[in-house]
C-alpha cells in the first residue's frame, strides 16, 4: 500500500463530479489498489474519511474509519467503511451544526449544517450492496465525504463565515463548547 499525496483546495479535481464505478472496474486490480492506497492515506493523515477526488481520482469511492482519531477525538468510532457509488438520503428534516475540517483544507474549520439521520446505500469493495442508517456526527462525516464526490467542499456549506477558525483557535476558544454539543448529539441520536 502507498500513501498518496492529498490535493488541497484550489486544485480543480476537488471541484469536479466523480463518475460511477462499473462492476468490472471495481473488480480490477487497479481500483482495488486505489482503495487500499486511500485507506493507507487516510490513516497516515489521521483523517476520519477520504474521498477519491482528494487523491486525484475521479471515481465515486470514499473511505471512512474512526478509531481514537486524534483530529476528532469526540467522534464516535466507525469501523472501516469503503463506499462505492454511494447515495445518501435524509430520513427526516432535522439538522445539526457540526464543526468540520478537511484534509484538503489544511488549517481551517467551520460550522456546517448536516442531516442527523441518513440512509446510506453503497457498494462495498467487493461490489456487494449495503444499506445502512448513519446518525449524528457519523451521518455528518458520510455527508462530507459524499460532497467531495460531487465537487463540494465544507467551505461551500458554511452558512456563517464567522465560524471559520484555525485548528489552533478552535482548540483555544471553541473546542469545549462544541465538544459538549457534539457529545449531547451523540447521546441523543446515536451514531
Ligand atoms: Ni474532506
What are the tens digits of pLDDT across the range 55-101? Answer: 999 999 999 999 988 888 889 999 999 999 999 999 999 999 999 99
> Distances in Å between the alpha carbon of 110 and those of 14, 42, 81, 100?
18, 21, 25, 6
C-alpha to C-alpha distances, 104 to 7, 28, 129, 173, nearest whole angstrom: 6, 27, 29, 23
CA-nearest of 44, 72, 43 to 137 is: 72
Q: Quick one: pLDDT at residue 185?
A: 95
**How many angstroms does the Cα of residue 40 sit away from the middle of ligand 1?**
16
Of 3.30.360.10, 1.10.800.10, 3.90.25.10, 3.90.45.10, which CATH number belongs to 12-96+115-152?
Answer: 3.90.45.10
Residues 6+ apart with CB under 8 A from 100: 109, 110, 111, 112, 140, 144, 154
Percent of the chain with pLDDT over 70: 100
Scanning the structure block, which residue is given the C-alpha cell 469536479? 16
Q: How far is the CA of 30 from the centre of ligand 1 (A)?
A: 23
User: Separation of 81 CA from ligand 1 center, angstroms?
Assistant: 15
Helix (H) or strand (E) holding 187, with range, is helix 175-189
- pLDDT at position 72 is 86
Domain ranges of the chain: 12-96+115-152
Q: Whole-model pTM above 0.95?
A: yes
Cα(92) to ligand 1 centroid in Å equals 24
pLDDT in tens, 9-34: 999 999 999 999 999 999 999 999 99
The pLDDT-based confidence of 104 (bands split at 50, 70, 90) is very high
Catalytic center residues: 145
Cell numbers describing residue 75: 467522534
Supply the pLDDT for residue 70: 82
Nearest to 85 by CA among 37, 33, 42, 130: 130
Rounded to the nearest whole angstrom, what is the distance from the C-alpha of residue 180 to the centroid of ligand 1?
23
**8 A C-beta contact, residue 114 and residue 63:** no
- What is the rounded average pLDDT of the residues 133-156? 98
Amino acid at each position: 500500500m502507498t500513501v498518496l499525496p492529498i490535493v488541497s483546495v484550489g486544485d480543480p479535481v476537488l471541484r469536479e463530479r466523480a463518475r460511477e464505478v462499473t462492476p468490472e472496474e471495481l473488480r480490477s486490480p487497479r481500483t482495488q489498489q486505489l482503495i487500499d492506497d486511500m485507506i493507507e492515506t487516510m490513516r497516515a493523515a489521521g483523517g476520519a474519511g477520504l474521498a477519491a477526488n482528494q487523491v486525484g481520482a475521479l471515481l465515486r469511492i470514499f473511505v471512512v474509519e474512526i478509531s481514537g482519531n486524534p483530529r476528532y477525538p469526540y467522534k464516535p468510532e466507525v469501523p472501516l467503511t469503503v463506499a462505492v457509488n454511494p447515495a445518501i438520503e435524509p430520513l427526516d428534516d432535522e439538522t445539526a451544526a457540526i464543526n468540520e475540517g478537511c484534509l484538503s483544507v489544511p488549517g481551517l474549520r467551520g460550522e456546517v449544517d448536516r442531516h442527523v439521520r441518513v440512509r446510506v446505500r453503497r457498494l462495498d469493495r467487493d461490489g456487494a450492496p449495503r444499506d445502512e442508517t448513519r446518525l449524528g456526527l457519523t451521518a455528518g462525516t458520510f455527508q462530507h465525504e459524499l460532497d467531495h464526490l460531487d465537487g463540494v467542499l465544507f467551505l461551500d456549506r458554511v452558512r456563517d463565515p464567522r465560524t471559520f477558525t484555525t485548528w489552533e483557535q478552535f482548540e483555544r476558544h471553541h473546542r469545549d463548547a462544541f465538544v459538549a454539543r457534539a457529545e449531547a448529539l451523540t447521546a441523543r441520536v446515536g451514531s
